[in-house]
Amino acid sequence: MKTVKILGSGCANCRKLEAVAREAATSAGIDAEFVKVTDMKAIMAYDLISTPGLVIEEKLVSSGRIPTQAEILQWMQA
Amino acid sequence: MDTVLHLINGGAGNLAAYLAAHVLLCLLPAFFIAGAMTALIPKASVTRWLGRNTPYRVSYPAAAAAGSLLAVCSCTIVPLFAGIYKKGAGLGPAITFLFFAPAGNVLALAYTGSILGPEFAFARFVLCLLFGIGIGLLMALLFWRDDASHDAATDTLFAEKGRVGPAATGVLLALVAVLIAGTLKVWPLTATVATATLPLPWAEGWQATLFRLVPFDAARGEEGVSVQGSLLIGLLFLIGLAAWKGLENIVEGANRWTWVALALVAATLLLAALRLTAGQAGLEVSITGRTLAVGIALGAVWHQARRLEGETWRAWLWESWRFVQQIFGLLIVGVFVVGIVRQLVQPEWIQALAGRNDLLANVVAVAFGVFMYFPTLVEVPVAHMFLDLGMHRGPLLAYLMADPELSLQSILMVAAVIGRPKTFTYVALVALFSVVAGLLYGAWVDGVHPGWIAAGLLAFMGALAAMLSWMLGRRTAPARA
């Protein structure tokens, strides 16, 4: 069970990122729990200067862009 | 019933005027530039100058540059603002960044220039830059204790370095060339190179139908829909359809619709750069210097974009499309509503309130800006409406400075990051500076001698400095006792 956090205050890119990440997890059959973090203080606890941010198992793997499904899979399986 | 029809016509007429060729030539490239800035400029290339230990003379201009280059949407504005404040250069540069971002980004500048005139865009840019840095410095002085408490925090966030690659630079420059070639109203661009008449007998009748469908009042500065305008609106619709299929999942790869959408965008820009006149003989098509210049610049964009890596150009197209989705729809609704409201507002009201450049007019304009919230860019058609209704350009600038900076939504957002006392100070300073900016620009428009304007600016700065030293004196006095 992986914990995946989507950091962002509900902008278009955050929704897109969540959709891509969910699809990646489903297609590879990975059991993942998705958490949306919208509170600015909680977001700023991670080192990022642009949302959306993607956090997998408490590690910030990408920010300010939407990674491809393949990239996300790599991070999830790492 | 007649009134309702009249109002809807007002909205449709306004919308048509805003989708005219000269606006599209500015907006379409501006969306692609905004996307390119988000996707192609590594944020670290600017943020490396915003760290804790950067000297003031570097961090303030860097904060303004970040506002102008990196922050086209709130996805970056809020986190970067909080980051600079808590982990980087501190409160002052964070405020400069926050203030400058809504006025200094490419979409706002290009749109202001095309609707309200380039000199107005220039005044907005320069005054926002000067006052953004001024307000930042003031906040840093007023709350210097607060910054000291953050010094213990790490600034690894700003340690990373980045560079804009040569291909990305090429794409950005070529896109700016498209924007300039499409909008500048100077000689080689406006000259007619060749003219041909297409034997399309329906053109004149179609033009008459369009004028009947969307009635307009030339005396009030309304434009109506031309044949060219109707073709462009049709093309925009097609772009929307193709982009929906071709750009929605662009991150995973391009498909056939992607190329259709891009070809349609190029066709729209070229068509908008032509001059079309419907007459008895048919449709007269003139190729102008602008058509050639836009064509060459588009070729340059294509040539440069081919040098980008696959992932990079897909990210660029995605960001551009996202901006269109996020801003364009709301802009269209906003323009339509503004057209309706305009029919209801009597010019006398506006002229009585803000027809002159005095203190009251500027204060009213700023107050309106604070209490009204408009989606991104919609403040520009609103300002255009006020200008048409007889508002003086001074208060108009005051409104344009205050509105995007201060709305209830943004005030709450800022308060969540820096706390209430600082937010109230910031709001008060922005209101004060906006009023002063309006008065100064208004005086310049009225033809007041630049010496007097400089003297007024100096007097304002002097009064501010005196007030500041008095406040700081009061605050430190009990500590000494």
Please tell me the predicted confidence (pLDDT) of residue B1. 66
Partner-chain contact A68 B252, CB within 8 Å = yes
B384 vs B391: CA distance, rounded Å: 9
- pLDDT category at B393 given cuts 50, 70, 90 is very high
B151 pLDDT band, cuts 50/70/90, is low
pLDDT greater than 60 at residue B478:
no
Token duo for residue B57: 């003379």
Q: Are B181 and B297 in contact (CB under 8 A)?
A: yes
The answer, yes or no, to whether residue B466 has pLDDT greater than 90, is no
CA distance B243 to B326: 14
Q: pLDDT of B173-185, one tens digit each?
A: 999 999 989 888 8
d(CA A55, CA A69): 15
* Chain A residue at shortest CA distance from B86: A44
Check A47 against B156: CB less than 8 A apart: yes
Task: Kindly list the domain boundaries of chain B, sorted by start residue.
Answer: 2-9+166-344, 42-163+345-475
Read off the tokens for B72: 């086209």
As beta bridge partners, residue B194 has B287
| Cβ–Cβ contact A45 with B under 8 A | no
Q: Mean pLDDT, to the nearest integer, of B438-446?
A: 90
Tell me what pLDDT residue B191 has: 87
The dihedral built from the CA positions of residue B264, B267, B273 and B274, taken in this order, carries a sign that is negative
Q: Could you tell me if A50 lies within 8 Å of chain B, comparing CB atoms?
A: yes
- Shortest CA gap A51–chain B (Å): 5
What is the rounded average pLDDT of the residues B232-240? 92
Tell me whether the omega of the peptide bond preceding residue A67 falls within 30 degrees of 0, making it cis.
no
Cα–Cα distance for residue pair B13/B7, rounded to 1 Å: 10
CB B436 within 8 A of CB B402: no
Does residue B324 carry a pLDDT above 50? yes
Tell me which residue in B75, B157, B416 faces A40 most closely, judged by beta carbons: B416
pLDDT at residue B479 tops 50: no
Segment B40-44 mean pLDDT: 86
DSSP three-state, residue B8: helix
Stretch B105-127: mean pLDDT: 88
pLDDT tier for residue B225 given thresholds of 50, 70 and 90: confident
Q: Closest to A50 (Cβ–Cβ): which among B76, B311, B413?
A: B76
Nearest to B80 among A13, A49, A67 (CB): A49
Residue B446 reports pLDDT greater than 60 = yes
- CATH number of the domain within which A14 lies: 3.40.30.10
**B256 burial level (CB within 10 Å; 0-12, 13-18, 19+):** exposed
Q: Which has more confidence, B355 or B263? A: B263
Give the pLDDT of residue B469: 78
Residue B474 has pLDDT above 80, yes or no: no
The average confidence (pLDDT) of chain B is 86
Chain B interface includes A54 (CB < 8 A): no
Q: pLDDT-based confidence at B434, cuts 50/70/90? A: very high
Helix-, strand-, coil-residue percentages of chain B, each rounded to 5: 80, 5, 20
Q: Do B157 and A11 touch (CB under 8 A)?
A: no
pLDDT for res B220? 63
C-alpha A56, offset from chain centre: 7
What dihedral angle (degrees, nearest 10) is formed by the CA atoms of A37, A43, A46, A48? 110
Q: How far is it, in rounded angstroms, from Cα B108 to Cα B345?
A: 26
β pairing state of A2-7 and A32-37: parallel
Q: In the β-sheet with A53-56, what is the strand arrangement from edge to edge? A: A32-37, A2-7, A53-56, A59-63
Which parts of B279-336 are beta strand (E)? Answer: 283-288
Indicate if the pLDDT at residue B388 is higher than 90: no
Alpha-carbon span B430 to B436, nearest angstrom: 10
Work out the average pLDDT over B43-69. 88
Higher per-residue pLDDT: B412 or B288:
B288
DSSP state of B252: G
Res B294 pLDDT > 80:
yes
- Residues A21 and A6: beta-carbon distance below 8 Å: yes
| Mean pLDDT across B207-223 | 74
Question: B111 with B26: CB under 8 angstroms?
Answer: yes
Q: How does DSSP assign A18-65, residue by residue? A: HHHHHHHHHHHT--EEEEEE--HHHHHTSS-SSS-EEEETTEEEEESS
B-chain residues within 8 Å CB-CB of A44?
Answer: 79, 82-83, 86
Number of Cβ atoms within 10 Å of the Cβ of B157: 24
Residue B82, Cα to own-chain centre: how many angstroms? 23
pLDDT of the residue at B480: 41
3-state secondary structure of B387: helix
Q: Which residue of B has its CA nearest to A49?
A: B80
Q: Looking at the predicted structure, is the pLDDT value of residue B398 above 50?
A: yes
- Tell which residue, B79, B90, B83, has the closest CA to residue B145: B90
Q: Which of B74, B75, B85, B320 to mutate to test the interface with A (most CBs of A within 10 A)?
A: B75
Rounded Cα gap, residues B271 and B289, in angstroms? 13
Question: Is pLDDT of B58 > 80?
Answer: yes
Question: What is the predicted pLDDT for the residue at B481?
Answer: 37
Question: Based on the structure, what is the number of domains in chain A?
Answer: 1
Average pLDDT rounded to a whole number, residues B231-255: 90
Prediction pTM value: 0.87
pLDDT at B409: 73
As a whole-number percent, the residues of chain B with pLDDT over 70 amount to 95
Q: Are A51 and A14 in contact (CB under 8 A)?
A: yes
Calculate how close chain A gets to B24, using CA atoms only, in Å: 24
pLDDT above 60: residue B476: no
Q: Report residues of chain A scoring pLDDT below 70.
A: none
Tell whether A62 lies on the interface with B, counting CB pairs under 8 A. no
Q: What is the pLDDT of residue A61?
A: 93
And the tokens for B24?
């599209």
In this complex, do A47 and B87 lie within 8 Å of one another by their Cβ atoms?
yes
Q: pLDDT averaged over chain A?
A: 88
